[in-house]
């Protein structure tokens, strides 16, 4: 019998609590709360990882798949959080203040291109039909994500899940896949795809605006050679904040709005090192700061 039987949240719950990603008050709140990304090594042992990954399949999770074969399972992550609360609270400030836990499990046969983990505009607009903009529970913005690698499937003896690359750049807005100059063809995504970075407003890990002219600075050639499988121009203007091995048991903590990327395995080996990977990410919301909440309520005539 699984411990994860009682389902409380649905996958789209965060969208029922948040302001629109492009609202100036939301942008200001997110800017104030971003911070450097971190890795926590050996946070979940093998038994815990087994328990977590199997829980994806035991409740009323809503599975879907992308054209490239990625399976996404929107399962009950509240219970994962409740069970590992002490560990997660240790790495995310005020995680328990989040009114619900977003995120999903994923099983992927492919690396993930550059993207952020925020909300889709279309999905959000649909949720406004249930909970209108001026509903008093809408007083949050997305905060931190914790990404937990669960297992790596490979036919090699050595297990190498490659690396996760977290870029310095944060874009505060709707969920996007970043495909500068359309370098990667046939992207399978339900997210908006941006093909020109030059006009994007990026923020750094302290919430400072990064001047737009910096979006045109070529990516470090050595780092591209070492970590990135995507075409060189796709990472133009980006810089690496943190790169760490994608190892089951570790946990990455980063801003929802932070651009990130995973590769096909340690590049110097010269081949793809894994066939499939499973991970889960949990997304936590943060409440508006007091002054912003007052401003928001005034605007919404609450
Ligand atoms: Fe992601």
What is the 36 CA–ligand 1 centroid distance (Å)?
16
Could you list the pLDDT tens digit for every one of the 302 residues in the chain?
333 344 444 545 899 999 999 999 999 999 999 999 999 999 999 999 999 999 998 866 778 888 889 999 988 898 899 999 999 999 999 999 999 999 999 999 999 999 999 999 998 998 999 899 999 999 999 999 999 999 999 999 999 999 999 999 999 999 999 999 888 887 766 778 999 999 999 999 999 999 999 999 999 999 999 999 999 999 999 999 999 999 999 999 999 999 999 999 999 999 999 999 999 999 999 999 999 999 999 999 98
Residue 302 alpha carbon to ligand 1 centre in Å: 34
**Domain 13-299 listed as CATH 2.60.120:** yes
Sheet holding 101-108, edge to edge: 38-40, 251-255, 140-153, 276-287, 101-108, 71-74, 62-65
CA of 117 to the centre of ligand 1 (A): 5
Name the residue among 111, 106, 81, 107 with its Cα closest to residue 94: 81
Q: Helix axis angle, 290-299 relative to 24-33, nearest 10°? A: 170
Q: List pLDDT tens digits, range 239-272.
A: 999 999 999 999 999 999 999 999 999 999 999 9
pLDDT at residue 188, rounded to an integer: 64
**Cβ(170)–Cβ(255) below 8 Å:** yes
Residue 222 CB partners (closer than 8 Å, separation 6+):
none
How close is the Cα of 210 to the center of ligand 1, in Å? 22
Structure-block tokens of residue 26: 């939301």
Distance CA 25, CA 20 (A): 9
pLDDT of res. 6: 43
pLDDT given at position 201 = 97
Cα torsion 185, 192, 250, 46 to 10°: value is -80
201 CA distance to ligand 1 centroid (A)?
19
pLDDT of amino acid 142? 97
Q: How far is the CA of 189 from the centre of ligand 1 (A)?
A: 12
Query: Mean pLDDT for the chain?
Result: 92
Distance 155 CA to ligand 1 centre (A): 25
Distance 204 CA to ligand 1 centre (A): 18
- Span from the CA of 20 to the centroid of ligand 1 (angstroms): 19
What's the whole-model pTM score?
A: 0.94
- Going from the Cα of 64 to the center of ligand 1, the distance in angstroms, rounded, reads 16
User: Mind giving me the DSSP string for 17-71?
Assistant: TB--TTSHHHHHHHHHH----EEETT-S-HHHHHHHHHGGGTS--EEEE-TTS-E
């Amino acid at each position: 019998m699984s411990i994860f039987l009682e389902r409380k949240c649905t996958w789209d719950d965060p969208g029922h609590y948040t302001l629109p990603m492009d609202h100036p008050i939301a942008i200001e709140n997110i800017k104030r709360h971003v911070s450097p990304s971190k890795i926590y090594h050996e946070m979940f042992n093998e038994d815990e990882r087994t328990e977590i990954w199997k829980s994806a399949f035991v409740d009323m999770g809503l599975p879907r798949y992308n054209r490239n074969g990625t399976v996404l399972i929107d399962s009950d992550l509240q219970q994962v959080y409740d069970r590992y609360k002490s560990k997660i609270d240790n790495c995310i400030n005020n995680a328990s203040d989040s009114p619900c836990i977003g995120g999903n499990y994923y099983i992927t046969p492919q690396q993930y291109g550059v993207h952020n983990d925020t909300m889709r505009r279309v999905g959000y607009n649909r949720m406004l039909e249930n909970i209108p903009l001026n509903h008093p529970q809408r007083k949050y913005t997305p905060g931190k994500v914790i990404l937990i690698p669960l297992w790596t499937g490979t036919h090699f003896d050595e297990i190498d899940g490659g690396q996760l690359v977290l870029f310095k750049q944060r874009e505060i807005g709707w969920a996007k896949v970043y495909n500068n100059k359309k370098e990667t063809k046939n992207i399978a995504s339900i997210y908006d795809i941006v093909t020109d970075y030059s006009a994007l407003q990026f923020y750094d890990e302290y919430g400072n605006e990064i001047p737009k002219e910096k979006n045109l600075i070529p990516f470090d050639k050595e780092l591209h050679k070492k970590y990135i499988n995507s075409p060189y121009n796709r990472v133009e203007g980006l810089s690496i904040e943190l790169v760490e091995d994608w190892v089951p048991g570790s946990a990455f903590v980063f801003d929802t709005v932070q651009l990130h990327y995973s590769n096909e395995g340690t590049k110097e080996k010269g081949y793809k090192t894994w066939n499939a990977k499973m991970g889960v990410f949990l997304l936590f919301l943060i409440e508006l700061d007091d002054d912003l909440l007052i401003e928001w309520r005034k605007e919404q005539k609450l």
